[in-house]
């Protein structure tokens, strides 16, 4: 009897990197390309849907992040779930999202999951760049295992910022800092350490 597991494999086809995912019932769950895999993943694990700018930013970050880290955050044994977080209206007090497992879905969450709560105020961005900076930062915490290691301090914030810059999100980090970062009069928060050159 076959075990119901997802097997992710990298295939090199004419230069571009393609993704393959199979499951016990190939006709029910099959993916051939990274972009298609991401769409399937987000259909299952993301509150936001197209054409949302927040959805687009999440998708763009998953497309651009390094392969090893991409496989980490999309691992079904410990997936990242993207949900909304309200700061106004009655939903600021409480809201709920349902995680539904359908018949025939591959198993997931055997090792827990990471919940990324994205504020609806991210919609203040007119382009996906600043939102990508925020999403990449939160995914960096997952890759670094900040919470599991009990590292929830300014050093963890700086480490996440450094990692997303290494991934190539320097511009998006700057845009996010300018649009969503600490403003004059806000309570003190973590500050980037500036190194003199």
pLDDT at residue 24 above 80? no
The pLDDT assigned to 3 comes to 33
Of 22, 102, 115, nearest to 73 by C-alpha is 115
pLDDT, tens digit (0-9, with 9 covering 90-100), for 128-141: 999 999 999 999 99
pLDDT grade, residue 40 (50/70/90)?
A: very high
75 SS3 class: coil
pTM over 0.85: no
Element (H, E) at 162: helix 154-167
Tokens representing 181?
């970062």
For residue 30, name the pLDDT band (cuts at 50, 70, 90).
very low
* 41-66 tens-digit pLDDT: 999 999 999 999 999 999 999 999 99
How far is Cα 67 from Cα 65, in angstroms, rounded to an integer? Answer: 6
């Amino acid at each position: 009897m076959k075990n119901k597991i997802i097997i992710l494999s990298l295939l090199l086809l004419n230069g571009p990197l393609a993704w393959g995912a199979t499951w016990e019932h190939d006709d029910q769950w099959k993916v051939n390309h990274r972009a298609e895999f991401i769409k399937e993943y987000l259909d299952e694990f993301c509150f936001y849907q197209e054409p949302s700018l927040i959805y687009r930013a999440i998708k763009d970050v998953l497309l651009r992040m390094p392969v090893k880290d991409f496989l980490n955050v999309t691992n079904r044994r410990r997936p990242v779930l993207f949900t909304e977080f309200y700061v106004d209206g009655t939903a600021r007090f409480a809201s709920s999202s349902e995680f539904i497992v359908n018949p025939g879905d591959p198993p997931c969450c055997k090792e827990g999951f990471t919940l990324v709560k994205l504020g609806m105020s991210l919609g203040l961005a007119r382009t996906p760049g600043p939102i990508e900076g925020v999403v990449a930062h939160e995914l960096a915490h997952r890759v670094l295992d900040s919470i599991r290691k009990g590292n929830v301090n300014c050093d963890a914030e700086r480490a996440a910022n450094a990692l997303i810059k290494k991934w190539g999100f320097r511009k998006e980090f700057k845009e996010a800092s300018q649009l969503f970062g600490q403003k004059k009069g806000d309570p003190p928060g973590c500050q980037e350490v500036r190194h003199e050159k």
